[in-house]
Amino acid sequence: MVDTTTAQTTQGEMLPKNAEASVAIFAGGCFWCMEPPFDKTPGVLATISGYTGGSLANPTYGQVSDGGTGHYEALQVTYDPAKVTYAQLLDVFWRNVDPLDAGGQFCDRGNQYRAAIFYATDEQKVLADSSKRAIEQSARFRKPIVTPVVPAAVFYPAEDYHQNYYKKNPIRYRVYSWNCGRARRLSKVWGS
């Protein structure tokens, strides 16, 4: 559980003191593009773009973008487990990544843009492994699922200008997202 006494929801409201909330961390390429699907999910209280999985403390966007820190661009999702389950969040995650691409996601190339599930508890690990196995066994794909399920590491929030980028810069975000081909590739991978 997280301390929610000062947390803010995606709608800008303060969470009630002593609210029960859980945290999930996902990497799915550009963190700007992972915020919208989670923000739209009922039961998600807040999302924070950031960096995890690397060796450098308090990395900057420039350092992570250079690819030498080992960090992933990631999203920390705070959610109400009474309204949305971790398994449901995994479904949102899978539908927003290309699980066949080990070299990044969509137009964003490099290790910092790889997809991954970061588990914080044994239950999250079991659910994440199970969801990955279900996709592998579905025979939907001819290639292997390369998205790893790995232990959560320290999560560092990204700079303020990255937070809610799609809301703060809607035109730039739409142009970036369209040019990156994310929606077209997701449609090809997962269907409508």
The catalytic site residues sit at: 30
- Dig out the tokens for 49 from the structure: 């773009």
Between CA 118 and CA 52 the distance in angstroms is 9
DSSP string covering the chain: ----SS-B-TTSPBPPTT---EEEEEEESSHHHHHHHHHTSTTEEEEEEEEES-SSSS--HHHHHTT-S-PEEEEEEEE-TTTS-HHHHHHHHHTTS-TT-SSEETTEESGGG-EEEEE-SHHHHHHHHHHHHHHHHTT--SSPP---EEE---EEEPPGGGTTHHHHSHHHHHHHHHHHTHHHHHHHHH--
52, 53, 54, 56: CA torsion to nearest 10:
50
